[in-house]
Structure 1
Amino acid sequence: MITWLTSRDPFPPLHCALGADSDAPGLLAASAELTPERLKSAYGQGIFPWYSDGQPVLWWSPDPRMVLVPGRLDVSRSFRKTLRLVQRDPRWEIRIDVDFSAVMRACAQASREGQDGTWITEAIVEAYSALHRAGFARSVETWYDGMRVGGLYCVAIGRMCFGESMFAERSDASKIALAALCAYAEAHAFEMIDCQQNTQHLHRMGAREISREAFVAHLARASRMAPPNWRFDKHVLARWTAASPFQAAEP
């Protein structure tokens, strides 16, 4: 039985989430509302919302958990050439938090293989935008010649980053934003970026699964650390464009 949460109810213990043999592995609870306060509480405990329009808010904590160690992002030889071009060409920029809500809406409109529609409803945009205004959500944006052409948004508490969604309107634009985020995260003692659930795309980019127990233990430490200033630009991409073969994975 899934717990129904009222506005004052705490989340149930994570071990109450449905197991791998269920129809909805990781499903923990449901509620009628989505507030920034509930969102921050959820992420701080290793829980995230994921549901479709017309459904109640569904709260998840899967086991295992998919995470990306920032320094282990899989940067192929061809993509490294792209990043070098981005560094040289002044038309390319990395901007932070220029228009968080617009990035979310662009992610909602992005077509994805095997998905019909989007879970990023207007209620989701409003709740995460409020979390952004409170300082706990960020957008990393790729700009070309004065136009936003890709990016991502994430939740960030202390030195813990939770990746949410990406979009690209130009080839590799979302990957450029992710490469910048990973380089910045590694330089500022973020040991992992939460990717939530396993997908082939994430696996190809270097993400791996860890137990929920290990994830929550790390989250408890990292979320108590002082946050960085969240100001960076495309120069962080030098992390991936150096000549050393140990700095990025080859195909």
Structure 2
Amino acid sequence: MPATPPLTCCTCPPLMGHTAPVHPTHRLRQPCPPISLAGQPTPLSAPHIPQQILDFLQPVRPPLPTTYHPDLPDIGQEYLEYYIFPILLPGMAELLHRARKEKCFERKRTKFIACDFLTEWLYNQNAKRKDEPFTEFFSIPFVKDWLKDHPRPPIPLSLLLSEEEASKIIQSFWRGYWVRCNAEVQELRQWQKQLREDKNIFKRVQEFWAKQEVKGMLSTLGGLRVFLAIKYLAVQ
């Protein structure tokens, strides 16, 4: 009985009398793709690639056409022009007016959030809410649900204050600083500090509040006793 020739994965001649081991079920011999000498990889044909990989490499959707056909209508452009822009553009105009009012074009940082304003405007301009009252941004149902799971960090106080309020705080601090720099005021502050240390003012204040807490607890217990007594008499 003639010997069975060794199984190889291709028809390439064995090197130095050795053959490459293959799986027993791999009975088909496929020719190896030719080696490219130009430095470019040789594209593999379908017989050399499993069908599962070929199916995976198929594009999800067909590629976009490379040529433009003027006879075919542009559905996306028509949708934007007839359904989106007539509603969105007035909101963008109101957004710019509000941004100018909030001085967004003059300052680097402001408390104004454009997306919040646009969401509020579109929600209140909805045709389905024509006869309903104005709803603030944070009172919109889906906004409340979103912020419940994704809370925002607090806005800094410097962005919440108006120019008048901020100027009052700065001026009051500056006036107090200049008054404290006066020599007579410095002498008075030093004397008050020494007096507090000599008379143990801090200790006296702590003792005073400790006594007040004890009095409050006793009055609470006394009131509780009176309440229980009245309730007991009412039951009897």
Which of the five TM-score ranges fits, normalised by the shorter chain? under 0.3
Bigger share in helix: 2
Q: What TM-score comes out, normalization by structure 2 length? A: 0.18
Is the radius of gyration larger for structure 1 or structure 2?
Answer: 2
Structure with more contact order per residue of length (Cα contacts < 8 Å, sep ≥ 6): 1
Q: What TM-score comes out, normalization by structure 1 length? A: 0.17
Bigger share in strand: 1
